[in-house]
Amino acid sequence: MDGIALHNIDVQKFIQALDSCKGNVYLETPEGDRINMKSKLAQFAGIAMLIEGGTIAEAVIRCDNPEDESKLFRFNLYGEMPKKDD
């Protein structure tokens, strides 16, 4: 995958989704910023950078682990985490 463009996400659920990932997850902006979202500090910095004036700025998520990328793609598409039996 070429990364996941974020759209209208629930920030709290997004952080829960990030916490469930097994590998590194990176937030990349068009300006060239690349933040590893696995630590809480980086998550807060990344979320603050994402939200400009109350709206989600342009950013892409990339993952080292293909399962994580699939999980976050589904989260971005459906707005919730996949059920454990999926």
pLDDT in tens, 55-78: 666 789 999 999 999 999 998 888
Question: Long-range contacts for 53-57 (Cβ within 8 Å, ≥24 apart)?
Answer: 56/6, 56/7, 56/8, 56/9, 57/29
pLDDT reported for residue 23: 96
pLDDT per residue over 16-26, tens digit each?
999 999 999 99
Question: How high does pLDDT run on average in the chain?
Answer: 84
Note whether 28 and 62 are within 8 A (CB): yes
Q: Alpha-carbon distance 17 to 74, whole Å?
A: 10
Residue ranges and CATH numbers for the domains of the chain are 4-78 (3.30.1340.10)
CA 85 to chain centre: 22
Q: What is the DSSP secondary structure assignment for residue 9, as one 8-state letter?
A: -
Q: Model-level pTM? A: 0.79
Amino acid identity, residue 81?
M
> What is the reported pLDDT for 84?
57
